[in-house]
Structure 1
Amino acid sequence: MTEFATARWPGIAHTPRTPAKARIAKAILKPTINRVPVRLTMANGTRWGAGDDSSPEMRVVRPRAFFARLGADTKIGFGEAYMAGDWTTGDGTDLADLLTPFAERLTTIVPVPLQKFRVFVDKKLPHHQRNSVKGSQKNIEAHYDLSNELFSQFLDPSMNYSSAWFEGNETLEEAQMRKIDAVLDDAHVGNGTRMLEIGSGWGSLAIRAAQRGAKVTTITISKEQAALAEERFAEAGVDVDLQLVDYREVTGEYDAIVSVEMIEAVGEEFWPTYFQTIDKLLAPGGHVAIQAITMDHHRYLATRNSYGWIQKYIFPGGLLPSLTAVDQVLAEHTTLAVTNQRPLGKHYARTLKQWRENFNANWSTINAQGFDETFRRMWEFYLAYCEAGFSTGYINVHQVAMSRPSEG
């Protein structure tokens, strides 16, 4: 464990000392994994799992540490054990391929009699990750301000950090432009449109909108992203008003409001505020288009208050909505309603696969920027974990168009 890793992720610097919980975890895991078509190979050669020699292989390198982490924190310990190197994939096994059978069975993998004990392993979302104005700033900095250079090593040249929309064998960048154009089309963005973008990213959507002749205002609370976006606006020769403000602080009136994969960082508590702000800023006859990572409503209800590995290590304060939850918030707190939605889940799986391939291919450059092996394993697990979720439909992503029904 390096000094960098110990300081950044103290939770994996030392193996938990929970022998009783470790024994329980081992007792539960064996019958559970014996219903999954994978091979789990222990350091001593013992094999578990319902898979054969052609199935994805998971190798437990340090069984004692692996079960200790799993026992200490069932939902988070699995990913932490990968970060720590307690388990890895077998030769020739892709990490996403290994995680996919688990994702396919995520709601049923734990035997029914044991599911009633979920209340004892689910941790509530920590208060310090609450998405207040100040809290949102800290949560965004934890991920998006890591390094522009880091993101440039695995994203396409347009620096889009959201699902693409593929048709055929085009490049990732071309698929990202199709995604952006679909959002702009849904929001009716054209020449003279006063457009607000909530969540600038690195500026690709704002550039595209400005090239259509729109009068673009884009907001972000990421200083790193804002700095690079301003450079890209200058290079593209477009006039974009970029503001470093929280969405709750925006004023004005806009014909179109767009937001790509930003609602996941809003937090359930602030969804009414988020959509009320959009409603307040939208001019009569205006249109809204958002792209949102979603999950089925029953899964959202089951997980809305639980704290997982992704929230601890990747997206603090994050929560995925369901389309039903969005409809309910709109109906109860705004004059807006959904007019159309487009699912792109399989496209996100393909996007994530390309990001992970780029990340691994450029690891030596990323490593030279100061990111260590623990970070590599964390990021690899994050990308593969999400890819498995989208490829199996456990999570999805939708482009959602909204307007005021009375205005069409």
Structure 2
Amino acid sequence: MEVKETRNEGLKRGYQFTLPAAELAATVDAKLKEAQPEIEVKGFRKGKVPLAMLKKQFGPRVMGDAMQDAIDGALKKHLEESGDRPATQPKVEMENGEGWKEGDDVVVNISYENLPAIPEVDLTKLKLERLTVPAEEAAVTEALENLAKSAQNFEDRRKGSKAKDGDQVVIDFKGFVDGEAFEGGAGEDYPLVLGSNSFIPGFEDQLVGAKADDEVKVEVKFPEEYGAAHLAGKDAVFECKVKAVKAPKPAEVDDELAKKFGAEDLEALKKQISERLEAEYAGAARAVLKRSLLDQLDNQVKFELPDSLVEAEADQIAHQLWHEENPDVHDHNHDSIEPTDEHKKLAERRVRLGLLLAEIGQKAEVTVNDQEMTQAVLRAARQYPGQERAFFEFIQQNPGAQQQLRAPIFEDKVVDHIAEQAKVKDKKVSKEELEKAVEALDEL
């Protein structure tokens, strides 16, 4: 096969492959002869069908296969010899496709953008700060108090006391729409915490100030997006009988509280909270360190980027941000979204860093093992309760979905590898300073 270069500008490459007709015909004949012993046609014994008949009956299909095999083989050989690494799937077009007939040479034009050469980076020159935050006593105490509130009980208020926000009212209720009681709109001895927003908007507000033995008519309107279509947007009246008003009483911070949360005693619970807080702080500090690392790499390393990758990334960023600004639109039936200069700038950063991290990871032989992938799949499956099996099957059958799960794991492992080579200095900071550093991450 003859190969001729037609374009070599920056990262853009173009080649013309010419497959001689005689070479193609010889390939077709060879394939037919190879299959001939196994072919049966009415009127002929197995393996005795004339080659001319086979060519007439199966020739066009075999010709198509031979063309595809020849082009694929030529492209593979070309990439191996040239060392090119296409950024995306090469575009393949048959130049004389419409007018081609048997006996003509096959001329194919192939174009792609080559991945750039990634410059070497001296990782030892990177200077990073690792923020460290100890679990202070005040933070542990605050966490304990929150646990006590979550484990709170309710005690009857003094007779005649008015219900306050945060109180629990025990009620019987019955709901009516257009004067008719509706299914599921009644309950007895229901413990409702005012301010919990567990009932229809506006319902709990109208019980603030109620006393035990009061009868209250609560007038509300079901939300337009309410789950039951026959009630959505409808006005409703609930007849409520207040049977008790109870004040919240946080649980005591003691060994009994600790046991409720699976610890042996209070000291063991404090230790668990301390470890959890420090793990949370470490995770936040790692995100800050990672941003600093990526910022330094982005500033220090520059190389030409494939337009196709940048354009695709910019389109994805613009599309994602548009949906975040329009959360009510769940499909893609909307006007095209034109990326802004800001989107393109961010896309360039992401593509540059993605290519750079991939190169560093490949040279360092960073891999994602089966156990790490299994854990990632299990974490992702938790987002689809009741559909885990279907999710597992989808992942198994979809290499693209597997790559989406693998990519962030690979990136984090490469970041860890880079941090091990860099000069890292630990810096002790307060919880508030760490929070400010994390908030600053949203600036990009």
User: For the superposition of Structure 1 and Structure 2, which TM-score range results when normalised by the shorter chain?
Assistant: under 0.3
Q: TM-score, normalized by length of structure 1? A: 0.24
Q: Which has the higher strand share?
A: 2
